[in-house]
Structure 1
Amino acid sequence: MDTMTFLDKLNPQQRQVCVNEGNILLKACPGSGKTRTLTYKLAYSVQKYITSKKLNIAITYTNRAADEIKERLEKIDIPEDKVWVGTIHQFCLEFIIRPYTMYNERLRKGYHIIDDYVTKQYTDEIIEELGIDIGYDKPFEYPEIFEKYQTKLLNEKEIDFNDILSISYDLVNQNKFIAENIAGIMRTILVDEYQDTNELQYKILSSIVKCNKNIQVTFVGDTDQAIYGGLGGVAKTCDELQKEFGVKFQEKRLDGCYRTTQRIVDYYSNFQLQSAKIYAVSDIKDEKGCLVYDDTISKSELFEKIAYIVKEELSRGIPDNEICIIAPQWWLLFPLSKKIKELLPNVKFDAPDITPIKYDPMNVFYLISKLIFTESGQKIHLRKKIANEIIEILTEEYKIYLSDEIDNYKILKIINSISETDENGVVYLQKAINNFLIEIGIDLNIESRLQKAYEDFILKVKDRVKNNHLSTDIDTFKQCFKEKEGVVINTFHGVKGEEYTTVIAFGILNGYIPHWDTIINKPHYRESETKKLLYVVCSRAKQNLYLFSEQGRTTQKGAPLTSTDEIVAIDYKYDDLK
């Protein structure tokens, strides 16, 4: 049987990238089949070397992108033991930190990864202790705050997200055999959204590749979508990659847009920084669609207008999950989410509900909670993976001894035996976690670091319930883990990599996009950063695009916000909004 039939689904450009076994810098315009090409390149490598035990690695910017690649691989029956897909932080934990903790003085006696909630707790305590008024500044811009924060982490045997990368680099850079061991088990490394990769991440990967120059490396992305420059993202050139990795790279392009109409392409091309021409090659390329920009609507009328647009789009037969509402920041979306559900009670929304338990897949108590509040008979394969992750975190990070009988089957059996009650969800969660820990032989009174992590987790849950006036019934907690469906509500950054028939974007105002921080502190980046974000926003739409710079929003001092300069500068004949 021909195991490469999936290649028949690719165009010549995409296929050439898949079968090319050199190192590639692949620049891909929106809708050009980047994710499909990346997925099939992984699949090609697995099938060509089907008897090999070497791994094919794909590093994504988000968990959502990783899940999409995994789902696509599963659909074409690619063995999952030959492929690893995840974020750079997950890669570092899986291949560098957990296997080699004994070679780092800070980690060898155990560690715990903290989230932004604990980081804020620590920084607030330090600011109060030092008696500093930082105003709207970032705490770590003050050396004395950062120094005390680092000391706190060391004393508590904790690390944060930044530490994951810096410690990983130290391990592979100072212990060459670690990089050699990792390099020896890898055949390919593919990096998605490479333009958002920072210097330290490049160095971690290059330290590995330099130990085995037969590893096939592919960087995939679009420099016009480099919207994380403020977080250190760097889109390296071919020459820069060759210098960093010590191997030759060739540049390839995917330039046909299979997603959208030519009209939408021509519009978002106004925000391109690169000069490459993009052509729509989709079945709907010649459709007119709808392209609206409204800078006169009042903030008070905006939500009703958006609800009207959603209702009209649905009445025209557009599926609810093909409609997306976006804004620059979450705080703009929460009131929209609440109001639109009232206006359209019969419409489903994949909305940013504030839930008692925040998404945090690196926290062992989040993972335990997920097993507690999800159906025991559903997605068994995924539940086993979560159970294995729980065991790994407890043994590798917390250095807790678990008896040999504690495997994923035992974990699930214990979780499934916990009886559900109709009591307060927070109380039930605490009892369930404590019962689970007792059943696997863990005493929190003895495991002080795990106890602190547990207390931080429960305190965060209680704070979210109190601060956001959330219900504490069991169903509210189950909602944290249910897969959402319906009209998508997300941020400009959050929809990167996605596509929808209809996109509705609001909050296109100076101060939001670009952010005040860019306007005030980085004025020389203002135009490029704004254009890249507008390019991402507008290129999410396949056919219909509604843009709003609403009136009535003000600065904290009461000055009215104005329409984003970069969109005002576009001379375009928009459609009228009914």
Structure 2
Amino acid sequence: MNPKQKEICMSDKNLILTACPGSGKTKTLTYRLAYLSTIYSASNKLNLAITYTNRASEEIKNRLLNFNIDLKNVWAGTIHQFCLEFIIRPYSMYSKRISRGYRIIDEYVQKRYANEICKQLQIRLGFNENPFAYPAVVREYTKRLEENKEIDFNMILQLSYDLLSQNGFIRKNLSSVLRSVHVDEYQDTNEFQYHILGSIFRENNAIRYFFIGDINQAIYGGIGGRAKNKEELDSLFGTSFEVDQLDGCYRSTQRVINFYSKFQIHSSIISSESELRDIVGIISHDKLTNKNDISNKIAAIIQKQLESGVPENEICIVAPQWWLLYPLSKSLRDLLPDVSFDAPDVTPIKYDPMNVFYLISQIKFSESGRNSSLRKRIASEIISILLNDYKLTLPDYVDCYFVLKSINGAKICDENGIETFTNTVKSLMSLCKIDMEQEIYLKKAFIDFLNKVNDRIDSYDLSIDMESFNKCFREKKGVVINSYHGVKGEEYTTVIALGLLNGYIPYWDLVYGDYNKRVIETSKLLYVICSRAKQNLYLISEQGRTTQKGKPLTPTEELVAVCEDFTLD
């Protein structure tokens, strides 16, 4: 580590740390957790890392395990996972809303409820219209969730805040077990998150808080994310934060840095400290390729990069929306059969880590001999959900090993993954002495999960054999294909970005909306996309895409303006 990173790791101050792309933010955060875990190894107090994504928290935990760090006093996860594990589950009995049990519904159930309510209220929605813009829909939706003992994803933070606000002993208990809290990507933190963390700190000002991020990468403002400044955090936490920064980019060439720096909202000079610093690389903007030729265009770029010695996993393809990536992924596999892809597959089971039946399927359809520590954590989470969310009573012999053995031992039907999954659930519930017919809310969740699986199979014409289900959880390696937002925090030698069109980036609500807001939000997203690249950046504004009324989409204006003032390849 460089001197600044070491200083940050050993600091005992409350800190707001700004870090440009490639400055070693994740490295510094991980080393700090390792440092605290080591010097306070005899203590049971926890050092938290609150991340924006599950992928980021798993990356931190894996790095720590590679350092041979015992994770007993380190916890990493999203703010929603933190609230569930430390606030809602242990203290749900103090909330009238969830004291009798609850289940967390996903977007599939939420959308179904909204459509049913709109039909009931005779509300006809326009294209892409938000049903929750109607107060009557919100009232009926809230009532339905309460009757069904359900909460949605957004309610997790509200309920957690309410529990902390109304029960001082919860704040005191929680603050007594924490040593430090590290908030990664703090620029994407929303008001509820700030207030939840602030209320805990005010009970114990010995806790050390680190807010770490980059204001230029604040791309979640549309869903409430905001980077509070020092004065705001000082006021909220009742203390004085120090402000510091990590200098230098250890990722990209100076040429790539010079390009993406033009999209900065808060201007700063970034110098490359990378061994690639003086490499020229490739930066191009293609406005001529037709959408029907996009697969051939990108396949040719990939082939050229591989021939030049760039490894598969150092190439990334990004687009603004997943519907652009699914057909592209299939075409590239056909065009490059010898190339491996870490790409999105349309599979029967959609990612939903807070659903107990998703977790059961994850154990059943993933390889049993691999990643035993992860499988044990998933099994423990299944037990926690059954006990705390559904308020079930389990026999004393039910532990993570019992759950794993029960799921692994359930009957497999090679021709039918749905039948295999159903057998697994019935077997596990029976062995755990749970009567699904009597547990109506658990049964409803099971039926909803199966309905979602069947809908995906019908919608995408998927196979129901075991191979189709095993693909859901198979580890992927190769050329990465991801969304603009999903690639945040990652780095690749070569980045290929398509869909850089007005209407996609910025999205339609900003194209004809507030001009200043449009420029800010578009620039931040372009900054994130371009700063993923170490050396090569292929930007594509393909021709041939149109609006629903047939009007051609044009290249993103903010990108065009920067490219006109930069020497491209």
TM-score bin (small chain):
over 0.9
Aligned-partner Cα distance in 2 for 1:309–1:506: 13
Aligned-partner Cα distance in 2 for 1:488–1:374: 21
Q: 1:295, CA displacement in angstroms?
A: 1.0
Q: 1:572, CA displacement in angstroms?
A: 3.7
Q: What secondary structure, in the 3-state scheme, does the structure 2 residue paired with 1:557 have?
A: coil
Q: What secondary structure, in the 3-state scheme, does the structure 2 residue paired with 1:99 have?
A: helix
Q: 1:521, CA displacement in angstroms?
A: 4.3
Aligned-partner Cα distance in 2 for 1:572–1:262: 16
Is 1:294 matched up with 2:286?
Answer: yes
Work out which of the residue numbers 189, 197, 206 in structure 2 matches 1:197: 189
Question: Match for residue 377 of structure 1?
Answer: 369
Question: Match for residue 54 of structure 2?
Answer: 63
Q: 1:134, CA displacement in angstroms?
A: 2.1
Task: Return the letter of the residue paired with 1:279.
Answer: S
Is 1:481 matched up with 2:473?
Answer: yes
Aligned-partner Cα distance in 2 for 1:379–1:76: 17
Aligned-partner Cα distance in 2 for 1:436–1:423: 21
Q: 1:305, CA displacement in angstroms?
A: 0.6
Aligned-partner Cα distance in 2 for 1:82–1:203: 24
Work out which of the residue numbers 255, 261, 275 in structure 1 matches 2:267: 275
Alignment of 1:299-448 (within 5 A): 299-448=291-440
Could you list the per-position Cα deviations for residues 46-88 of structure 1 after superposition, in whole angstroms to 9, with x for gaps in the alignment? 1122211100000000000001100111111211111000000
Aligned-partner Cα distance in 2 for 1:265–1:438: 58
Give the alignment's TM-score, normalised by structure 1: 0.97
Q: Does the Cα contact within 8 Å between 2:95 and 2:163 map onto a contact in 1? A: yes
Aligned-partner Cα distance in 1 for 2:384–2:566: 58
Question: Match for residue 129 of structure 1?
Answer: 120
Is 1:73 matched up with 2:51?
Answer: no
Q: 1:522, CA displacement in angstroms?
A: 4.2
Is 1:88 matched up with 2:79?
Answer: yes
Question: Match for residue 447 of structure 2?
Answer: 455
Q: Does the Cα contact within 8 Å between 2:362 and 2:473 map onto a contact in 1? A: yes
What is the root-mean-square deviation in Å for CA atoms of aligned residues?
1.0
Q: Does the Cα contact within 8 Å between 2:109 and 2:448 map onto a contact in 1? A: yes
Could you list the per-position Cα deviations for residues 377-431 of structure 1 after superposition, in whole angstroms to 9, with x for gaps in the alignment? 3222222111111111001100111110111121112122223222311122112
Is 1:108 matched up with 2:99?
Answer: yes
Is 1:249 matched up with 2:241?
Answer: yes
Q: What secondary structure, in the 3-state scheme, does the structure 1 residue paired with 2:211 have?
A: strand
Q: 1:335, CA displacement in angstroms?
A: 1.4
Worse-superposed segment, 530-539 or 420-429: 420-429
Q: Does the Cα contact within 8 Å between 1:31 and 1:260 map onto a contact in 2? A: yes
Aligned-partner Cα distance in 2 for 1:104–1:216: 29
Worse-superposed segment, 502-511 or 37-46: 37-46
Q: What secondary structure, in the 3-state scheme, does the structure 1 residue paired with 2:385 have?
A: helix
Work out which of the residue numbers 117, 141, 151 in structure 1 matches 2:133: 141
Question: Match for residue 111 of structure 2?
Answer: 120
Worse-superposed segment, 427-436 or 391-400: 427-436
Q: Does the Cα contact within 8 Å between 2:413 and 2:419 map onto a contact in 1? A: no
Q: What secondary structure, in the 3-state scheme, does the structure 2 residue paired with 1:59 have?
A: strand
Work out which of the residue numbers 36, 51, 55 in structure 1 matches 2:27: 36
Unaligned runs of 5+ in 2: none
Q: Does the Cα contact within 8 Å between 2:306 and 2:312 map onto a contact in 1? A: yes
Aligned-partner Cα distance in 2 for 1:498–1:379: 23
Q: Does the Cα contact within 8 Å between 2:410 and 2:423 map onto a contact in 1? A: no
Percent of aligned positions with the same letter in both sequences? 55
Q: 1:231, CA displacement in angstroms?
A: 0.6
Question: Match for residue 518 of structure 2?
Answer: 526
Question: Match for residue 4 of structure 1?
Answer: none
Question: Match for residue 6 of structure 1?
Answer: none
Q: 1:519, CA displacement in angstroms?
A: 2.2
Work out which of the residue numbers 498, 502, 517 in structure 1 matches 2:490: 498
Q: 1:520, CA displacement in angstroms?
A: 3.5
Task: Return the letter of the residue paired with 1:251.
Answer: V
Give the alignment's TM-score, normalised by structure 2: 0.98
Aligned-partner Cα distance in 2 for 1:462–1:21: 53
Q: 1:456, CA displacement in angstroms?
A: 0.2
Q: 1:573, CA displacement in angstroms?
A: 4.5
Question: Match for residue 232 of structure 2?
Answer: 240
Aligned-partner Cα distance in 1 for 2:201–2:341: 44
Aligned-partner Cα distance in 2 for 1:412–1:299: 47
Q: Does the Cα contact within 8 Å between 1:293 and 1:574 map onto a contact in 2? A: no
Worse-superposed segment, 516-525 or 279-288: 516-525
Aligned-partner Cα distance in 1 for 2:228–2:352: 30
